[in-house]
A and B are shown apart, each in its own frame.
Chain A
Amino acid sequence: MSCFKGKYAEELAKNAAYIGTPGKGILAADESTGTIGKRLSSINVENNETNRRDLRELLFCTPGALQYLSGVILFEETLYQKTAGGKPFVDVLKEGGVLPGIKVDKGTVELAGTNGETTTQGFDDLGKRCAKYYEAGARFAKWRAVLKIGPNEPSELAIHENAYGLARYASICQENGLVPIVEPEILVDGSHDINKCAAVTERVLAACYKALNDHHVMLEGTLLKPNMVTPGSDSPKVAPEVIAEYTVRALQRTVPAAVPAIVFLSGGQSEEEATLNLNAMNKLQGKKPWSLSFSFGRALQQSTLKAWGGKKENVEKAQASFLVRAKANSEATLGAYKGDAKLGEGAAESLHVKDYKY
C-alpha cells in the first residue's frame, strides 16, 4: 500500500483541506488543566472547572469570531463541556463552521543520556481514545513534539525519536478518522541566528516527512504545525519579511505539495508579531502550494485574557479583543493585514517564557 487508505480517507482529505481555507485558521485552546491554571493565575482567577469553562465559552461565543476560524483545538475536558446555557461546545463550533480538534498527547518526558532533550508520550490506547473523540465530534488531533537548539542539539536521537513518534501518532489518527496535526516545535530559546534555525528546521522537517512516508501516512489528510524560522530569543530581532523568506524557503525544501495546509505555532511571539510574520509570508512571491495559516494559542488569547480578568462585566470587552486578533490573523492568511488592529493591552507584549513547559 503506497499510503494507508482506510475508510476515512476521503473525509480526512476534505477536513484537512477545509482547515486550510484562505481567511481561516486554528485557535489552539487545548491548554491542559495545569497550563490553563498558569494563565488563570496570571489574571488572579482560580483554576476550577467553572472558570476554565467560562474562559472557553467567552472565546467560542464571541459574536462574529467563528467565521475567522476553521478549527479549534480542545483539551479533553473541554470536548465534553457545555455553555452555561447547556449547549455542548462541539455544537457551538460545528454550527459556526468550525471543526473541533483534540489534543491527544500526554506531555513530554526526558530522553536519558541526552542534554535535556525530550520525547512525547501518549501512545497507550491512543487508537481507542481517538475513536472515542471522533464519536464525541472531534475531527482533527494534535500532538506536540519538542526539540531545542544547542551546541549539540538537536541530536540524531531526539530528531529520530520525535519524528517517528509523530508518524506513529499520525498513522493511528488516520485509522480513526482524525486529521493529525504534525507539530515538531523547535523552541526559540537560545542565542543562535536565523541561519541556524533554518538549518535545524530543514533537518527536522526532512526527518518528519521521511518518518511519515515510512509509516504510510496519507499526506493529503495531514496538517503541519511548525515553528516559524526566526533568530533565537536571545538574538537581535529581524523584520517580518526576513522571517517570511527563511520560513517559506525551509518549507519549500521539505514539505511536499500534497500537504494542504501549514498552520504555524506562535511559540512565544507577541500577538502582533505573530500576525505580522504570517502576513509577510502570505505576501511573499514564490512557490507556496500549501495554505499558510495559524494555529495560535497565546498569540490569540493574551490580550483577551487580560481584558477579561475573570470578571463577568468584562466579557464583552474581552470578546472584542478576541475578535480583533481573530480578524487580524484571518487577514494575515490573505496577506491583507494592514497592521492596524486596535492593539489591546498586551498585544505587543512578548509571550516568550524561557524553557517553556506546557
Chain B
Amino acid sequence: MACASFAKLNAASSQWIGQQSFTQRSGSSASTRFATRRVSLPIRASSYTDELVKTAKTVASPGRGILAIDESNATCGKRLSSIGLDNTEANRQAYRQLLLTTPGLGEHISGAILFEETLYQSTTDGKKFVDCLREENIMPGIKVDKGLVPLPGSNNESWCQGLDGLASRSAEYYKQGARFAKWRTVVSIPCGPSALAVKEAAWGLARYAAISQDNGLVPIVEPEILLDGDHPIERTLEVAEKVWSEVFFYLAENNVIFEGILLKPSMVTPGAEHKEKASPETIAKFTLTMLKRRVPPAVPGIMFLSGGQSEVEATLNLNAMNQAPNPWHVSFSYARALQNTVLKTWQGRPENVEAAQKALLVRAKANSLAQLGKYSGEGESEEAKKGMFVKGYTY
C-alpha cells in the first residue's frame, strides 16, 4: 500500500534516517519534528456508496437473478449462426430486443448484463433498451473487460485486459444508465493453475472493482474456474478456496466496499471429463462449503455462472443450494443456461418471437423458483437437459 511505504521513510519508524538512534515511543517528539504521514483511512467510494449498496441489494432480491446477454459481437455471431443468421447489427438488435422486451421479465430477473453496443441500442420503436429494463425494475449492467489474452510466463494461461481508461468508460456507462459492471477472468485447473495466474486474476478483479465503485457501478466479481479437466470435485474445491482467498484479500487491500459488490463464481463441480458426475446435492454441499469458508457475510449476493451446464442442471444445482438459509442471496447469472432454448425457438423468425419470449420466461421462472429452493423439475423439455460444455470454450 502506498501510504505504508511512505510511512517507512519517516524517521519515526526508521532507525536509519538522519542518524537518529532508535528510541522512539509512540507520538510526541517524532510527530512534532517531522511531517508524519498518517496512515489514512481507506478511501471509500463516498459519493456513490449508498447507491451501490442499494443497487446490489436490488439485484440480490429474493426470487430473482441475472440474465447475462453481454456476448461480444463475435460471440453473439456464433449464437446467431447456430440458427442460420448472419452476424449483423440488425440481427443482434433483433435478438436482444426479443429478450429485453419479454413481458413480465422483471418478476424473475433483477439485472441484465449488456455488451457495449446493446447499452446504446433501442427497440425498433425507438425505445432505449435501458428504459425497457428500468420499467421492469431490472438493473442494466455492462461488460467492461476487454477479453482474455495469453499470460506471459505462465503455463499457457490467460489474463484479463481492460483497466486502461476504465474509469472514464465506467463514468460514461453510468451516464447511459448502467448501474453494475462485469469483468470475467478465468483460471484453468489443467494448467495448474499457476500462482502467477491466480494472483493476476485476483489482482485484476480487485483493481476493476475499486474503479467501478468509484464511478457508481456495482462490480460483479467473476473469476471463472473453467469446467475443463478431468479432476475430481475435491480438487476444484481446493482451487476455488485458493482463488477466492486471494480475491478477497486484494479486494480488501483495494478498499472495495463489500456491501456494494456481487460475486459470480463457478459452482464447485468435478471437471467436465471426470469419470463420475456429481449430484446436485453434492455440488451444493461442496459449493456452500467453499462459500462459507471464503465469502464475508457483508457480500449481498452470489450469482452463479452456468459455465456449460445444461439449462436443467444449472437450475437443479441452484435449487439444491437454496434448501436452507444462507448468509447471502444465492442466485443465478446465466447466459447459455437461459438463452439456449430461446434461440432454438426463435430461429430468427418474427412469427416465433412470442413463443421464444415464453421460453425465456419458462427458464427464468424455473431459476427464480430454484433461488427460493422450490424448483421441482417437472415438465422440463429434452432440449433443456442438453449439456452445453464445449472443450476449450472461448467467448
Chain A residues within 8 Å of B, Cβ to Cβ? 1-3, 113-116, 148, 150-153, 155-156, 195-196, 199, 202-203, 206-207, 209-210, 213-214, 219-220, 249, 251-258, 287-289
Contacts and interface: CB of A to CB of B under 8 A. Distances in A.
A148 B26 contact: yes
11 contacts: A1-B238, A113-B14, A151-B27, A152-B36, A152-B39, A153-B26, A207-B249, A209-B248, A213-B241, A256-B293, A257-B327
Contact of A152 (B13, B241, B296): B13
B54 interface: no
Contacts of B12: 115, 151-152
A151 B296 contact: no
B42 interface: yes
Interface stretch (B1-9, B79-87, B305-313, B332-340): B1-9
B238 A210 contact: no
A115 B296 CA distance: 32
B293 A219 contact: yes
B4 to A, nearest CB: 5
A202 B252 contact: yes
B24 A115 contact: yes
Find the residue from A2, A148, A219, A254 having the highest chain B CB count within 10 A. A2
A61 to B, nearest CB: 39
A251 B258 CA distance: 12
Contacts of B39: 151-153
A151 B237 CA distance: 41
Find the residue from A1, A152, A256, A289 having the highest chain B CB count within 10 A. A152
What 10 A-B pairs come out closest when comparing CB atoms? Answer: A213-B245, A206-B252, A252-B298, A2-B238, A152-B7, A210-B249, A258-B292, A287-B297, A257-B292, A289-B327
A207 B289 CA distance: 21
A203 B298 contact: no
A33 to B, nearest CB: 27
Contact of A115 (B25, B37, B237, B258): B25
B241 A3 contact: yes
B6 to A, nearest CB: 9
A116 B26 contact: yes
Contact of B22 (A113, A203, A220): A113
A155 B7 contact: yes
B31 interface: yes
Contacts of B327: 257, 287, 289
Given A1-B238, A115-B24, A256-B292, A156 B249 contact: no
Contact of A253 (B27, B37, B258): B258
Given A114-B13, A287-B297, 15 more contacts: A2-B237, A2-B242, A3-B293, A150-B26, A150-B27, A151-B38, A152-B36, A155-B7, A155-B8, A156-B1, A199-B42, A210-B249, A252-B297, A253-B252, A257-B297
B295 interface: yes
Contacts of A210: 245, 248-249
A261 B264 CA distance: 27
Given A2-B234, A202-B252, A210-B249, A288 B297 contact: yes
Interface string B242-284: 1001001100110000110000000000000000000000000
Contacts of B237: 2
B41 interface: yes
B296 A252 contact: yes
Given A2-B238, A3-B241, A258 B27 contact: no
B15 A113 contact: yes
A313 B253 CA distance: 57
A310 to B, nearest CB: 35
B374 to A, nearest CB: 22
A196 B41 contact: yes
A255 B296 contact: yes
B235 to A, nearest CB: 9
B218 to A, nearest CB: 16
Nearest to B251: A206
B248 to A, nearest CB: 7
A116 B30 CA distance: 13
Contacts of A249: 298
Contacts of B259: 253
Nearest to B300: A287
B10 interface: yes
A203 B10 CA distance: 22
Given A206-B248, A214-B245, A289 B38 contact: no
Contacts of B293: 3, 213, 219-220, 256, 258
Contacts of B10: 152
Nearest to B268: A2
Nearest to B325: A289
Interface string B38-49: 110110000000
Contacts of B294: 213, 256
Contacts of B249: 206-207, 209-210
Contacts of A113: 13-15, 22
A252 B100 CA distance: 35
B197 to A, nearest CB: 17
A208 to B, nearest CB: 11
A324 B31 CA distance: 46
B223 to A, nearest CB: 15
Given A213-B245, A252-B297, A288-B297, A152 B37 contact: yes
Nearest to B31: A151
